[in-house]
């Protein structure tokens, strides 16, 4: 047989078929005509057909199953008998107990199933061909109808027939589902629609739609994709306990498709031509999805795929041209911190280990804590794939073990192995060496020793902050000064600007806080250590600590709450980075002392849980601001520093019921426990020198207090601890610097983004925002004084636009310390203007006139903005608690007036005003307010629903079930038969109107009831 087909199908060798297009140039032509959802769907299917997808007009599950039988038979070159197919379908495809997770495992890890033939023989049957992807057949169906179930199915929620927009079948199995909305509709509606499908109908019948691996959502203009895990976890979260709130807006975890230049491809036709190109889609499904050890499916983003493929191509080319063991055989990937380098490097290592010529893949980290972090991540991606080692002897054993394909080790252990094992056979093997976070520690003697020992290697580095000539250190080997000198050319770039633009990481907001004029005591003749001593003055440290304690709740957003893994949390946590161990010790004492003197019984005060960690580093305080590597060897500390750390760890033990100390193993366990508590937001503030400032990810961390010199990659690494995406509450990474790092920050952003990056990564200075705010408020007060009616549509529209700008500016300014006390509108004026604004918005929303509808479009974003800073029920409860604590029961009138103004200014509480006021009136003198509120709402909700049931003669149990489902789903189900089931029989000749009128009236009442009570329980 000719080897031509093998070359055609080999994913490594087909360099002309990169999964991600190198550069996409959009079609300049534009359509002027209105496009309906049906027309958009028709255009999408036509584009797929032009790319050799077969359109399949199926209308029933029987036809879908029959097609599946045909496709699997063709793929595997077999003819199923009726008996063989019946058994194979039931046992290997549509098992009664199999759900989404089991079917995902089948596609991702167990795609070859065993068929028992009628003659007693067995045959392997592929569900998808992963080795030769072009053997798979792609079909597209649309408007496929899932029929209403009966019996148990009806009880599980399949209340009505459901039609799906479009689905791509791979060998007959639904694997990619596309939900379309017409242009102009929020893309999130498509996201939520899929949630309802996955919960209510994908499982119906044989459950074939539970094989869907990827979802695509689009409104024609914007298009995104995501894995079934994102959808499944969102649904699971939404149907959890009543008190639970969303961990995150999981829409945030959907992804843009892009070209290799990181330019998003958002329009549906462009998306269809690139993402749905047959080789691209099949590569994503077969190679660039990762099923984690806890059965979560992750789909890679385009920049991750590009980097992985360029590594594989470099391995293939250097092998074919016999160029292993030189700089040209490798390269480095520059993907900014927080963009998912570990997933990219894992997939690159996994695919590289499957290249026939490759003997081993070594994943090299440069610190023990990174070893721990990376090991956990690798173990999550594939249990046992990363054979971590704890000693050089274990490393030697693994290097000699043919079954150990991927090995994680530290650069120190690898260098020790090389020095102790001259002439080892492994040096002659084809070894792919991947360095995670390739910083300065790889540029020294150990790097040279590794590259001299191994003869046939590919060397790759991943970094979020490369070393360029401008940020290279002064010493070291002049041939190994930069990342490119050590690893070869850059293979792919995804900068911090790209990541922020794609919303894969958050922007930073930086406050520079000056406590002492250092310039008054420091001149050019004073050494760096003298400067540090001056900055350690007791008075200065005390001021810094007071500032942190005063602003901690504001910076970490303690007034806002969310749910993390089932636990209700308020706000985020922080790191405090110090310049030296001595500084860390003094700050720890100052924080603990300051907190011990505060009155903890005052309303709203909560004592911060504070930890500290440091260990030996070659240079405790580096003058150049680059982060030195701390080891886990606390035994090398001077005795006073170690004694202090033992005492601080004892404080930690008392707080958390642990038993750690600074002995070798116990100290490592202390680090691990502390890192876990940071991730879970169990601890509020951790004081560090260098630890946790590189290679550590905690999504709950949003603030970094800095009292040390940082620059270049050290600065970006430290700042990047704060900007991981978590939820809608966490809007940016917060940096509070007690040093003047503005120039260093600007230089670092320019270096690691681009020359224009400053405006993208950082917010503008306070003065620019405040100047604009002052101008707009002055204009507001002059043009629209309170008490004067706003007459005419154009004036109303002008007011809406003007006040909307003020709201945006206020939302930003409230995060600046300088804004406190500088508000140009009093609290009363702000509430009154907001009430006018909301009333106008409500009027425009009710009006169906086309022109006024466009005004509604103008203000939607601003309404959402108000909701971000909304005065909610928690605020009302807090207000009552504060008034009760401060004034007892004396000042009910003032409490009522304050609460009424707050409710009037709140878009989500306006229709709940009477509830809030009745609750305040019903409060007991000593009761627990939180508990009284819950009991009050439960009682009122039940009473008001009973009144609607009685007045309309509704079926009580069916109505309560209907409402409970609405609260679970977050919306009233207006379509289908669910509402009809709550209605009593109505004659079309009834005096109160026919069935349709009754249905609309009941829907209106139940909808108003839902809006009134949603979010209050």
Tokens of 118: 């009628």
Question: What residue spans define the domains of the chain?
Answer: 34-60+134-296, 302-494, 503-761, 766-868, 873-927, 940-1013
Residue 533 tokens read as 């001593």
Measure the CA–CA gap between 345 and 524, rounded to whole angstroms: 45
Sign for the CA dihedral angle at 362, 363, 368, 371 comes to negative
Answer for the pair 968, 1014: CB distance below 8 angstroms, yes or no: no
Residue 431 pLDDT > 90: yes
pLDDT of residue 199: 67
Which comes out higher in pLDDT, residue 873 or 262?
Answer: 262
Output 341-345 pairs: Cβ under 8 A, ≥24 positions apart. 341/436, 341/437, 341/462, 341/464, 342/374, 342/377, 342/378, 342/436, 343/290, 343/298, 343/300, 343/304, 343/377, 343/381, 344/300, 344/304, 344/307, 344/308, 344/462, 345/434, 345/436, 345/462
Domains 302-494 and 503-761 share a fold: yes
User: Phi and psi dihedrals of 478, rounded to 5?
Assistant: -65, -15
The answer to whether residues 454 and 427 touch, using CB atoms and an 8 Å cutoff, is: yes
Tokens of 659: 């038993």
Q: What is the pLDDT of residues 103-160, one digit of tens each?
A: 999 999 899 999 999 999 999 999 999 999 999 999 999 988 876 544 344 444 445 6
Q: Which of 429, 291, 278, 305 is nearest to 361 (CA)?
A: 429
Task: Report yes or no: 719 and 708 within 8 Å, Cβ to Cβ.
Answer: no
Residue 938, both tokens: 């439960």
Per-residue pLDDT reduced to its tens digit, 931-964: 777 788 888 889 999 999 998 889 999 899 888 8
pLDDT, mean of residues 275-298: 90
The pLDDT-based confidence of 342 (bands split at 50, 70, 90) is confident
Most confident of the following: 578-582, 852-856, 922-926? 578-582
Closest CA to 363 of 458, 460, 434, 429: 434
Between CA 952 and CA 946 the distance in angstroms is 10
Which superfamily does 302-494 belong to? Answer: P-loop containing nucleotide triphosphate hydrolases (3.40.50.300)
Mean pLDDT of 753-771: 62
| 1005 pLDDT more than 50 | yes
User: What pLDDT is recorded for position 875?
Assistant: 53
Give the pLDDT of residue 811. Answer: 66
Q: CA-CA distance, 835 to 649, in Å (whole number)?
A: 52
| Residue 574 DSSP SS3 | strand
Q: For residue 367, name the pLDDT band (cuts at 50, 70, 90).
A: low
The answer to whether residue 843 scores a pLDDT higher than 80 is: no
**Does residue 419 register a pLDDT over 80?**
yes
What's residue 685's pLDDT?
A: 96
CA distance 82 to 67: 14
Residue 191 near residue 251, CB atoms below 8 Å? yes
Answer yes or no: are the C-beta atoms of 564 and 680 closer than 8 Å: yes
With beta carbons less than 8 A apart as the criterion, state whether 312 and 12 touch: yes
Tell me which H or E stretch contains 236.
Answer: helix 228-238
Average pLDDT over residues 564-577: 85
- Mean pLDDT, the chain, rounded, equals 79
- How much is the average pLDDT of 903-924? 70
Burial of 475 (0-12, 13-18, 19+ CB in 10 A): exposed
Distance CA 603, CA 432 (A): 60
pLDDT above 80 for 281: yes
Most confident of 749-753, 797-801, 879-883: 797-801
pLDDT higher at 596 or 358 = 358
**Residues 1014, 963: Cα–Cα separation, whole Å:** 10
Mean pLDDT along residues 27-54: 83
Predicted confidence (pLDDT) at residue 870 exceeds the cutoff of 70: no
- How much of the chain, in percent, has pLDDT values that exceed 70? 74
Pick the range with the lowest mean pLDDT from 81-90, 308-317, 663-672: 663-672
Q: Return d(Cα 948, Cα 942) in angstroms, integer.
A: 10
What are the angstrom distances between the C-alpha of 658 and each of 560, 567, 650, 652, 787? 29, 21, 9, 7, 62
Nearest to 707 by CA among 525, 819, 474, 542: 542
* C-alpha dihedral sign at 143, 149, 153, 158: positive
Token code pair at residue 1005? 């009442």
For residue 492, the SS3 value is strand
Ranges of H-type helices in 122-227: 152-155, 187-200
State yes or no: pLDDT of 784 exceeds 80.
yes
pLDDT at 28 over 60: no
pLDDT given for residue 382 in this prediction = 61
Confidence of residue 448 (pLDDT cuts 50, 70, 90): confident
Residue 419, Cα to own-chain centre: how many angstroms?
43
pLDDT of residue 3: 39
Distance CA 251, CA 235 (A): 12
- Secondary-structure class of domain 766-868 per CATH: mainly alpha
The span from the CA of 979 to the CA of 1005, in Å, is 12
When pLDDT is cut at 50, 70 and 90, the band that residue 869 belongs to is very low
User: What is the CATH number assigned to the segment(s) 503-761?
Assistant: 3.40.50.300
Three-class secondary structure of residue 865 per DSSP: helix
At residue 890, the pLDDT reads 53
The reported pLDDT for the residue numbered 767 is 86
Q: Identify the residue whose tokens are 């139940």.
A: 1006
Give the mean pLDDT of 962-985.
75
**Of all helices (H) and strands (E), which one includes residue 94?**
none
Helix axes 445-453, 411-420, angle to 10 degrees: 50
Residue 477 pLDDT class (50, 70, 90 cuts): low
Long-range contacts of residues 122-128, Cβ cutoff 8 Å, at least 24 apart: 123/76, 123/78, 124/76, 125/72, 125/76, 125/78, 125/88, 125/92, 126/72, 126/75, 126/76, 127/72, 127/93, 127/171, 127/173, 128/170, 128/171, 128/173, 128/285, 128/286
* Residues in the chain, total: 1017
Q: Which two tokens stand for residue 230?
A: 């994102």
Confidence band (pLDDT; 50, 70, 90) for 856? very low
Phi (first) and psi of residue 878, to 5 degrees: -65, -40
Whether the Cβ atoms of residue 221 and residue 183 lie closer than 8 Å to each other: yes
Pick from 812-816, 898-902, 903-907: least confident: 903-907
**DSSP H/E element including 50:** helix 37-50
Q: What is the rounded CA–CA span in Å between residue 404 and residue 389?
A: 11
Q: Which of 214, 231, 206, 211 is nearest to 171 (CA)?
A: 211
Distance CA 420, CA 415 (A): 9
pLDDT of residue 372: 54
Residue 570: its H or E element: strand 567-570
How far, rounded to the nearest angstrom, does the alpha carbon of residue 359 sit from its chain's CA centroid?
36
Confidence of residue 440 (pLDDT cuts 50, 70, 90): low
Give the model's pLDDT for residue 233. 55
3-state secondary structure of 724: strand
For 371, residues 6+ apart whose C-beta sits below 8 A from its C-beta are: 365, 388, 408, 409, 410
What residues contact 168, with CB distance under 8 A and at least 6 apart?
48, 53, 138, 139, 140, 174, 175, 176, 177, 178, 276, 281
Q: Which two tokens stand for residue 294?
A: 């806890």
| Residues 223-256 pLDDT 10s | 999 998 865 554 444 444 333 333 334 677 789 9
Residue 441 has pLDDT above 70, yes or no: no
The CA distance from 54 to 138, in Å, is 7
Whether 346 contacts 255, CB under 8 Å: no
Q: Which of 21-30, 645-654, 739-748 shows the lowest mean pLDDT across its residues?
A: 21-30
34-60+134-296 domain in CATH 3.90.1570.50? yes
Which has the minimum average pLDDT: 35-39, 753-757, 790-794, 900-904? 753-757
């Amino acid at each position: 047989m000719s080897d031509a087909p093998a070359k055609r199908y080999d994913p490594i060798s087909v360099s002309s078929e990169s999964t991600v297009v190198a550069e996409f140039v959009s079609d300049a032509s534009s359509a002027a005509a209105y496009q309906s959802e049906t027309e958009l769907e028709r255009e999408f299917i036509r584009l797929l057909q032009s790319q050799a997808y077969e359109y399949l007009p199926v209308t029933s599950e029987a036809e879908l199953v029959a097609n599946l039988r045909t496709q699997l038979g063709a793929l595997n070159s077999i003819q199923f008998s009726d008996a063989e197919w019946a058994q194979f379908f039931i046992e290997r495809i549509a098992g009664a107990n199999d759900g989404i997770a089991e079917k995902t495992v089948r596609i991702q890890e167990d795609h070859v199933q065993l068929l028992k033939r009628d003659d007693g023989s067995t045959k392997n049957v592929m569900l998808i061909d992963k080795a030769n992807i072009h053997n798979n057949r792609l079909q597209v169906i649309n408007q496929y109808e899932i029929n209403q179930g009966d019996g148990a199915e009806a009880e599980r929620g399949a209340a009505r027939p459901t039609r799906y927009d479009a689905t791509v079948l791979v060998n007959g199995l639904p694997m990619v589902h596309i939900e379309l909305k017409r242009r102009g509709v929020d893309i999130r509606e498509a996201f939520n629609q899929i949630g309802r499908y996955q919960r209510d109908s994908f499982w119906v019948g044989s459950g074939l739609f539970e094989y869907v691996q990827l979802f695509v959502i689009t409104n024609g203009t914007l298009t995104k994709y995501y894995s079934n895990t994102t959808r499944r976890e969102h649904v699971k979260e939404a149907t959890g306990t009543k008190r639970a709130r969303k961990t995150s807006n999981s829409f945030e975890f959907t992804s843009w498709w892009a070209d290799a230049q990181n330019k998003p491809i958002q329009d549906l036709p462009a998306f269809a031509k690139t993402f749905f190109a047959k080789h691209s889609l099949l590569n994503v499904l077969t190679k660039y999805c990762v099923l984690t050890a806890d059965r979560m499916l992750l789909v890679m983003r385009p920049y991750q795929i590009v980097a992985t493929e360029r590594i594989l191509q470099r391995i293939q080319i250097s092998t074919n041209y016999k160029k292993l063991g030189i700089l040209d055989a490798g390269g480095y990937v520059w993907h900014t911190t927080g963009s998912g380098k570990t997933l990219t490097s894992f997939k690159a290592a996994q695919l590289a280990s499957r290249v026939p010529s490759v003997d081993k893949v070594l994943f090299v980290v440069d610190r023990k804590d990174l070893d721990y972090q990376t090991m956990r991540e690798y173990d999550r991606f594939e249990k046992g794939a990363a054979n971590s080692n704890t000693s050089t002897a274990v490393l030697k054993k693994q290097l000699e073990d043919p079954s150990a394909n991927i090995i994680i080790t530290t650069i120190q252990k690898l260098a020790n192995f090389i020095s102790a094992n001259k002439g080892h056979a492994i040096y002659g093997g084809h070894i792919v060496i991947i360095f995670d976070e390739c910083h300065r520690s790889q540029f020294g003697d150990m790097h040279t020793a590794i590259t001299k020992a191994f003869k046939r290697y590919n060397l790759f580095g991943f970094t979020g902050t490369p070393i360029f000539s401008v940020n290279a250190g002064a010493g070291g080997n002049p041939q190994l000064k930069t990342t490119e000198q050590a690893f070869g050319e850059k293979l792919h770039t995804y900068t911090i600007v790209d990541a922020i633009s794609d919303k894969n990481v958050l922007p930073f907001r930086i406050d520079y806080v000056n406590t002492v004029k250092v310039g008054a005591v420091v001149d050019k003749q004073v050494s760096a250590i003298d400067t540090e001593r001056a900055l350690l003055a007791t008075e200065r440290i005390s001021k810094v600590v007071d500032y942190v304690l005063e602003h901690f709740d504001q910076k970490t957003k303690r007034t806002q709450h969310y749910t993390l893994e089932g636990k209700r949390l308020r706000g985020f946590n922080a790191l405090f980075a110090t310049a030296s161990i001595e500084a860390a010790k003094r700050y720890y004492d100052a924080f603990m002392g300051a907190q011990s003197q505060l009155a903890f019984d005052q309303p709203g005060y909560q004592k911060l849980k504070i930890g500290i960690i440091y260990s030996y580093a070659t240079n405790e305080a580096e003058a150049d601001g680059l982060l030195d590597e701390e080891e886990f060897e606390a035994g090398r500390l001077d005795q006073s520093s170690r004694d202090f750390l033992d005492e601080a760890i004892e404080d930690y033990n008392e707080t958390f019921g642990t038993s750690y100390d600074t002995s070798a193993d116990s100290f490592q366990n202390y680090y691990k426990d502390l890192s876990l508590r940071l991730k879970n937001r169990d601890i509020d503030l951790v004081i560090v020198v260098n630890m946790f400032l590189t290679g550590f990810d905690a999504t709950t961390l949003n603030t970094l207090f800095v009292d040390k010199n940082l620059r270049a990659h050290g600065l970006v690494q430290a700042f990047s601890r704060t900007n991981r995406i978590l939820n809608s509450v966490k809007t940016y990474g917060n940096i509070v610097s007690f040093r003047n790092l503005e120039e260093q920050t600007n230089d670092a952003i320019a270096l690691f983004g681009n020359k224009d990056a400053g405006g993208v990564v950082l917010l503008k200075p306070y003065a620019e925002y405040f100047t604009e705010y002052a101008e707009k408020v002055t204009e507001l007060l002059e043009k629209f004084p309170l008490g004067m009616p706003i007459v005419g549509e154009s004036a109303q529209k002008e007011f809406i636009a003007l006040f909307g700008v003020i709201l945006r500016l206020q939302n930003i300014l409230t995060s600046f310390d300088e804004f406190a006390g500088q508000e140009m509108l009093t609290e009363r004026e702000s509430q009154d203007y907001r009430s006018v604004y909301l009333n106008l918005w409500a009027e425009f929303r009710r009006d169906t006139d086309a022109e006024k509808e466009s005004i509604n479009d103008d203000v939607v974003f601003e309404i959402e903005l108000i909701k971000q800073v909304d005065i909610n029920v928690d605020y009302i409860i807090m207000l009552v608690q504060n008034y009760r604590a401060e004034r007892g029961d004396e000042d009910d009138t003032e409490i009522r007036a304050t609460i009424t103004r707050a409710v009037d200014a709140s878009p989500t509480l306006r229709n709940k005003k009477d509830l809030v006021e009745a609750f305040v009136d019903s409060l007991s003198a000593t009761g627990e307010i939180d508990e009284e509120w819950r009991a009050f709402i439960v009682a009122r909700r039940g009473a008001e629903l009973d009144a609607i049931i009685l007045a309309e003669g509704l079926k009580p149990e069916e109505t309560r079930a209907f409402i409970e489902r609405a609260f679970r789903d977050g919306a009233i189900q207006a379509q289908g038969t669910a509402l009809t089931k709550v209605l009593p029989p109505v004659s079309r000749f009834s005096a109160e109107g026919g069935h349709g009128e009754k249905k609309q009236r009941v829907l209106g009442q139940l909808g108003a009831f839902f809006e009134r009570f949603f979010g209050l329980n």
